[in-house]
Amino acid sequence: MRRPLMLLATLALAVVACEKKTAPAPAAPSPEGQATGTAAAPVDSDTILLGEVGSLTGSEATFGVSARNGIELALNEANEAGGVKGKKLQVRVYDSQGRPEEGAQAVTRLITQDKVVAILGEAASSVSMAMAEKAQAGQVPMVTPTSTAPEVTQKGDYIFRVCFIDPFQGLVMAKFARENLKLSRVAVLRDNKSAFSMGLADVFTEKFKAFGGEVPGDESYSKGDTDFRAQLTSIKRLKPDAVFVPGYYTDVGIIARQAREIGLKVPLLGGDGWDSDKLYELGGSALEGSYFSNHYSPDNPDPVLQKFLARYKATYGSVPDSVAALAYDAARVTIDAMKRAPDLSGPSLRDAIAATRDFPGVAGRITLDANRDAVKEAVVLKVSGGKAQFVTTVTP
């Protein structure tokens, strides 16, 4: 039976709809759990409080729900094993709504009012960068699970990540497109309001050209757009072998459908922002034969991963996506550092996290480099039969 984590952000009993195919979402936080809410209940002296910020509502809500599940699972396991330094762990969760200003406000509150020892989140790079400025100023370590833009950890020495960064992800897809798929001409369609999309598109373009390929067209859209036909028509005229679309699943599914509607039949390529069950609901058969880079594959037989998969499925009724896996890893890396740190002050915990080496994460072994970025492998997945199937692994 599931033993739910005590989320200090009071959770409503009614279950909200989750953007997963097979699992209901945990209840959304009440106003007490949002950045705009009222004060939450105090924490007793036998409890260590962490903070979490994620997009529990808004266009990327599946990311926030997945991250919350992964973190919840990690903290439950730690508490079952005795907690940290003789104390139990709790987490206070705030909803960023996928907006940088909400994320920054949530971090400020976590630091000044809730007095958390560390912060977990966010998934999106644009939100994480706004949060990182507040965490750095408050000298509270922040560990993001999936924000891949290099600028995130450049905000300061209290900011960490457990995922690879866009330059590596861009290199992976450029190399795969050129060497594995033997493509010569790949156009780009990027989200000009997303740091993640812009960074990944820039690196892919640079590396694909360096490998001898050509980028005949580079079109853009803005988050929230729903009609991409004009850009896709321009790309179709260029007759590319494929189109690199480093956006989020919310846009990519629609883009895929509209591409097929106008007769653009070439494969689409992308990054980890595609990773959501909702992608296949939005894109349907239009995504067949497309490829994207990601952080892990549930097909990996690694026993650490398989144990996580079994417990996650038993608890939430679905296979975890990469956001859930990386959020689980982010929480476990933080907990491991808390155990090693001489105390839980900001500087001590920062130094302990920075010393993470060869940590057995479920999404690959994690070593943090001098920039506080994870050095780890990436996988390439192919959309086939309405799901992502493992193709290959690319190491640093």
Q: Could you tell me if 51 and 130 lie in one domain?
A: yes
Please tell me the distance from the alpha carbon of residue 331 to that of residue 102, in angstroms, as a whole number.
Answer: 22
Whether the predicted pLDDT of 302 surpasses 90 = no
Output the average pLDDT for the chain: 89
Mean pLDDT across the stretch 330-356?
Answer: 98
Confidence at 41, pLDDT banded by 50, 70, 90: low
Bigger pLDDT: 249 vs 37: 249
- Host domain of residue 180: 167-294+381-394
Q: Assess whether 184 and 278 both reside in one domain.
A: yes
Q: Identify whether 38 is part of a domain.
A: no
Residues 221 and 151 in one domain: no
- The reply to whether 154 and 71 lie within a common domain is yes
Is the distance from CB of 325 to CB of 308 less than 8 angstroms? yes
User: Sign of the CA dihedral 104, 106, 108, 111?
Assistant: negative
Residue 18 in any domain: the answer is: no
- Is residue 40 assigned to a domain? no
Whole-angstrom distance, CA of residue 44 vs CA of residue 88: 10
Q: What whole-number distance in Å separates Cα of residue 245 and Cα of residue 252?
A: 7
Domain count, the chain: 2
- Pair (387, 263) in one structural domain: yes
Q: Is residue 26 part of a domain?
A: no
Residues 260 and 334 in one domain: no
193/323 same-domain check: no
Q: What pLDDT, on the 0 to 100 scale, is given for residue 26?
A: 36
Q: Answer yes or no: do 212 and 319 share one domain.
A: no
Q: Name which of 114, 50, 51, 46 is nearest 82 in CA terms.
A: 46
Euclidean distance between CA atoms 80 and 29, whole angstroms:
24
If asked whether residues 223 and 288 sit together in one domain, one would say yes
Kindly give, in sequence order, each residue whose CB lies less than 8 Å from that of residue 132, ignoring residues fewer than 6 positions away. Answer: 142, 152, 153, 155, 156, 159
Phi-psi region of 233 (alpha: psi -120 to 50; beta: other; left: phi over 0): alpha
Whether residue 34 is contained in a domain is answered as no
Answer yes or no: do 326 and 286 share one domain.
Answer: no
Q: Which amino acid is at 32?
A: E
CATH of the domain at 286: 3.40.50.2300
Distance of CA 379 to the CA centre of its chain: 15
Distance, in Å, from the CA atom of 61 to the CA atom of 287, rounded to the nearest integer, reads: 21
| Same structural domain, 260 and 210 | yes
> In this predicted model, what pLDDT tens digit does every residue of 317-326 receive, in sequence order?
999 999 999 9
- pLDDT, tens digit, 9 for 90 and up, residues 72-95: 999 999 999 999 999 999 999 999
